[in-house]
Amino acid sequence: MYRRGLLAVLALAGIATFGAGTASAQDKTIKIGGLFPMSGPGAYFGAQDKQGIELALEELNKTGVNGYKFAIQYEDSACSPLPASQAAKRLLDQYKPDVIIGEECSDATLAIMPIVAEAKVPLINAGSSSIRITDPGNPYTFRIMPNEVMQGVDIATQAYNKLNARTAVLLNETTNAGIGNAKVFKETFEKLGGKVVAEIGFGRDVNDFTAIATRVAGAGKVDVIPTYTLEGQGLKITQALSQAGVVKGGGGGAIQLGTIWLPFGFEQKAGKAAEGYVRIVQFDPTDQRDMVKNFVKNFKAKFNADPTHINAHAYDQILLIADAVKRGAKDAQSIRDTLAATKDFKGVTGSVEFDKSNQNIKMDTIHYMETKPDLSWNALKWN
């Protein structure tokens, strides 16, 4: 007898707290979905994205924006089309986010784009460079990072004009991003009058670059070596090129050119071999703007490491969402519309203005760095 009464009271109490709980959770949260690789070879992207996001959320949720707080749910998209599609569907079905950020790998991003578009949820991307992500014009996909055409045309032009390069050897991984970037460089460089003396593509499973470096060494006078690959292989290439005496760090004359993917800290791992490397970075930690200085300081304090461009991109994606909310957005459709109208958002990686295909066209997201003999960066103010 007793028991039943007690149970009833407990039940009522439970319902009450549950009701109260849901009530407070209901009011004013923007739900963000995070599709990042957490397993497989792309997993370190996901780990770094999380860090940038955490920092941003921590800062924003201290006061909220326009009365809204921000929450995030992650799903593992594994840098590959099928797992990414499944992760996207799971996210949409179960979490129902107002906006999604991700993926890193172009293949995965291309796979999830139609899915989120059909669900009418905006997607902000900062990691995939393939031109196919924005070129066809998808109203629900936004990219804050410069695409491969913007980067490729710019670096080829700068190489020709500022570095007086006339011959080049292209080294790229055989993925969407690698091949695409190499192609743009080649077209621009050759149109200006330069000559590409060799193009060497390699898979993500190649480990030893001594043979490749030997081939480059035997290719005659080479001025620049545009290199499009991830950090792990990039490290090996730079060292091999140095051992073969091809690049400046090894006593040669060629300058390696790089874009994206190579974070701050690469030099320390590569050592002397990295001297003279010129690259586009999407995040310039030596940027003197207050916003950047604070970001670096807070990131270091929280994670005891220097922020990479992946951290910075993730941070900016959250800040961009907050900016949209500040301008009045509150759900998927209004976020989409407000994002599309972005004209002058300032993030730590640069400014954002979206063109008609939702590609960010501000060139101040392209920063050039040269590695000095002491392995620190010299910011070349080419943009």
Q: First CA to last CA across the chain, in angstroms?
A: 80
**104, 80 Cβ separation under 8 angstroms:** no
**193, 160 Cβ separation under 8 angstroms:** yes
- Among 174, 124, 127, which residue's Cα sits nearest to residue 146? 127
Closest approach of Cβ 220 to other proteins, in Å? 9
DSSP letter string, 292-341: HHHHHHHHHHHHSS---HHHHHHHHHHHHHHHHHHTT--SHHHHHHHHHT
**109, 101 Cβ separation under 8 angstroms:** no
Q: How far is CA 186 from the centre of its chain?
A: 23
| 199-238: contacts with other proteins (CB under 8 A) | 200-203, 205-208, 210-212, 214-215, 217-218, 231-233, 235-236
Stretch binding other proteins (CB under 8 A), from 12-20, 75-83, 188-196, 344-352: 75-83
| 284-323: contacts with other proteins (CB under 8 A) | none
Q: How far is CA 187 from the centre of its chain?
A: 24
| 328-345 core/surface letters (b: 16 or more CB in 10 A; e: else) | ebbebebbbebbbebeeb
- Considering the complex, state which of residue 34 and residue 347 has its C-beta at the smaller distance from other proteins: 34
Q: Select from 28, 69, 89, 346 the one that contacts other proteins (CB under 8 A).
A: 89
Stretch binding other proteins (CB under 8 A), from 54-62, 79-87, 148-156, 290-298: 79-87
- Considering the complex, state which of residue 51 and residue 338 has its C-beta at the smaller distance from other proteins: 51
Q: Select from 93, 290, 344, 374 the one that contacts other proteins (CB under 8 A).
A: 93
- Considering the complex, state which of residue 189 and residue 202 has its C-beta at the smaller distance from other proteins: 202
Closest approach of Cβ 60 to other proteins, in Å? 25
Neighbours of 294 (CB within 10 A): 12
- Considering the complex, state which of residue 36 and residue 283 has its C-beta at the smaller distance from other proteins: 36
Q: Decide: helix, strand or coil at residue 31.
A: strand
- Considering the complex, state which of residue 41 and residue 64 has its C-beta at the smaller distance from other proteins: 41
- Considering the complex, state which of residue 189 and residue 266 has its C-beta at the smaller distance from other proteins: 266
| 14-33: contacts with other proteins (CB under 8 A) | none
Closest approach of Cβ 181 to other proteins, in Å? 12
| 248-277: contacts with other proteins (CB under 8 A) | 250, 269, 271-272
Q: Select from 64, 114, 139, 252 the one that contacts other proteins (CB under 8 A).
A: 114
Nearest 5°: phi and psi at 78?
55, 20
CA distance 55 to 74: 15
CA distance 137 to 141: 8
E strands of 120-166, at which residues? 123-125, 141-143
Should residue 374 be labelled a site residue for other proteins when binding is judged by CB under 8 A?
no
| 169-188: contacts with other proteins (CB under 8 A) | 174-176, 179-180
CA distance 336 to 97: 13
What is residue 94's DSSP assignment? I
Should residue 369 be labelled a site residue for other proteins when binding is judged by CB under 8 A?
no
Closest approach of Cβ 175 to other proteins, in Å? 5
Q: Decide: helix, strand or coil at residue 213.
A: helix
Q: Select from 35, 38, 222, 260 the one that contacts other proteins (CB under 8 A).
A: 38
Q: Select from 9, 12, 47, 341 the one that contacts other proteins (CB under 8 A).
A: 47
Write out the residues near other proteins by the rule CB under 8 A. 38-44, 47, 76, 80-82, 85-86, 89-90, 92-94, 107, 110-111, 114, 132, 174-176, 179-180, 200-203, 205-208, 210-212, 214-215, 217-218, 231-233, 235-236, 239, 242-245, 250, 269, 271-272
